[in-house]
Amino acid sequence: MKTLQLSLFCGIAALSIAVNAAPPKKTPAKKPPVKNETKGQGQLVGANGQFGMIYTLKDNLNFQIITARYTTDSYAAYAPLFPKADEKLVILDVAIKNTRAQDFFTELNFFTLVDEKGELYPNGAVTLDSKGVEALSINLRPGQGMGQPALKDGLHVGFVVPAKARIVKVMVNQGRLGKSEEVLRYFIADATKEEAGEVGDPKNVIKPLADNVRDTSHPSGALALAEGKAKKGEYYSANTALLRFDKLEVSVEAKLDGNPPEEGKAFAIVTMTAKSDWGKEFPLFDVTGDEDCYLLANDENDSFKPINYRKAKSDAVPEHTFKKGDEYVFRVFFSVPKDSKFKKLVFKGNNGRKWAIEGTDLK
């Protein structure tokens, strides 16, 4: 019995020593989260770029972003861009040069824009000023350049983005020659580290929207108003056309289809001029086709849609096919209460940006 007790005691003692001698288990350190460069993709090895600087990319192309800007104007290219009411454009002005000993072909499809929410906008539409809406094939001879200011023939890449988006980063999906890089990043001046991964470079400024379409709630000038502020007698981008408000008349004597206004009503007649400033033909329907192309509001906040369109000086239906430089005047008829006073006219092209005429300009 004593032998059994002694053996049991020794076993317990040995177990105690073994447990006490074992080093304590360490909780594995948590790895820092992988920062996403783009959705579903980890951070890529890359360098930071600055507007105005020239970089030689891995394919031996000298490359430069000269400037960038926000705009709500249409963009004339072989694949033209027409911003809608809830959209705007970002235009990059770029220059390239072939440093190879052989001819070099490129489509300039290595750009991606990133907004403050991490949304991506790849594959912009490329155009050269001298080409306009014609197809552009970029095939450079050795030493040949394109887009440099001295050539006076701008090279541009355009992107459609939401009206309220702010671009915080421009990605060039190719690294520099002789470097272990996969991308070149341009952090935009007003970007925060939380939005872009790094604080923006003050040299990388995207020029703000024009005053009459800029939402001043953000100092960057990147946010667009739902309705641009228009003035009488000036042209504004309206999809394929430019549109100009000329005048508003209220008449109880005018006739539509040979008939005067209904009892107690009048015709409010808006005279507009449409103009083409790009190289493809388009019909007048591009500025009259949507039922909400024109909206007239009186001082009691009642809104009126057009009941018909007429030529500038006759009761005939307007028809026109625009060629570059064409101007065409037409009238928009509204049926309104006879004593109406108006405070606002909204006009636009089909699916295009809205423009508002208000106050003393609405005469």
pLDDT of residue 353 exceeding 80: yes
What's the token pair of residue 117?
A: 């929410």
Give the up-direction half-sphere exposure of residue 30: CA atoms within 13 A in the CB hemisphere. 3
Nearest C-alpha neighbor of 154 from the set 91, 86, 62, 229: 91
Q: Is the pLDDT of residue 17 over 70?
A: no
DSSP string, 174-204: S-BTTSS-SEEEEE-TT--HHHHSSPPPTT-
Between CA 54 and CA 49 the distance in angstroms is 9
Tokens of 269: 């007649």
Q: Count Cβ atoms below 10 Å from residue 193 Cβ, excluding itself.
A: 10
* 223-239 residue pLDDT tens: 999 999 999 999 999 98
Q: Is the model's pLDDT at 277 over the cut of 50?
A: yes
Tens of pLDDT, residues 72-86: 999 999 999 999 989
Please check whether residue 118 is in contact with residue 36, taking contact to mean a CB–CB distance below 8 angstroms: yes
Domain borders along the chain are 38-225, 228-361
Distance CA 139, CA 156 (A): 16
Q: What is the mean pLDDT of residues 17-37?
A: 45
Residues 6+ apart with CB under 8 A from 159: 81, 89, 90, 91, 92, 111, 113, 121, 124, 125
Q: CB neighbours of 30 closer than 8 A, spacing ≥ 6?
A: none
Q: Taking 70 as the threshold, does the pLDDT of residue 25 lie above it?
A: no
Same fold, 38-225 and 228-361: yes
Q: What is the pLDDT of residue 224?
A: 97
d(CA 287, CA 352): 9
- pLDDT at position 9: 41
Across-strand partners of 113? 121, 170
pLDDT above 70 as % of the chain: 88
State which fold the 38-225 domain adopts: Immunoglobulin-like (2.60.40)
By the 8 A CB rule, do 340 and 266 touch? yes
Confidence of residue 290 (pLDDT cuts 50, 70, 90): confident
Q: Which CATH number fits domain 228-361: 2.130.10.10, 3.30.1490.20, 3.60.15.10, 2.60.40.1240?
A: 2.60.40.1240
Residues 152-157: what's their mean pLDDT?
98
